[in-house]
């Protein structure tokens, strides 16, 4: 059965909502991407309106912004240090927005959404 982004069938009390209609194709969702640390690998998927979206499956480089010099550089990701989204993502080397990574220039925080945007951008943290 397909996953849906529509309202739950249950009320907070545990009672049931009586559906006024069935699911619609436009309400479908998909499984999370879980972008991992590894050799660059991306995928193009079709989204609403027959548009295309590039999602990053794996990546080992990041566009790193140094706030002092205001310059970007492409650096290699050494390891995942912390992930506020889920503490188990650190062990699995999953990259999401807000993840703290270790690079050759220091620790950085990912500011892009790799599962939605197809790239990895980060900012150096002190």
* CATH number of the domain that residue 39 is part of: 3.10.290.70
The CB-side HSE value for 120 (13 A sphere, CA atoms) comes to: 30
Lowest mean pLDDT among 14-28, 29-43, 70-84: 14-28
- Nearest 5°: phi and psi at 104? -70, -25
In-domain check, residue 13: no
pTM of the model: 0.81
Report how many domains make up the chain. Answer: 1
Confidence class for position 1, pLDDT limits 50, 70, 90:
low
Q: What ranges in the chain are assigned the alpha helix state H? A: 88-92, 114-117
Per-residue model confidence as pLDDT tens digits over 71-108: 999 999 999 999 999 999 999 999 999 999 999 999 99
In-domain check, residue 15: no
Confidence class for position 55, pLDDT limits 50, 70, 90:
very high
Range of 83's domain?
35-124
């Amino acid at each position: 059965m397909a996953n849906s982004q529509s309202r739950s069938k249950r009320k907070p009390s545990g009672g049931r909502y009586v559906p006024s209609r069935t699911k619609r194709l436009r309400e479908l969702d998909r499984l999370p991407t879980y972008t991992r640390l590894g050799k660059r690998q991306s995928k193009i998927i079709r989204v609403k309106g027959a548009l295309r979206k590039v999602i990053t499956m794996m990546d080992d480089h990041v566009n790193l912004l140094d706030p002092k010099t205001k310059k970007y550089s492409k650096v290699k990701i050494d390891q995942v240090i912390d992930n506020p989204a889920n503490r188990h993502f650190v062990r699995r080397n999953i990259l999401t927005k807000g993840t703290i990574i270790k690079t050759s220039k220091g620790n950085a925080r990912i500011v892009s959404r790799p599962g939605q945007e197809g790239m990895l951008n980060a900012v150096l943290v002190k």
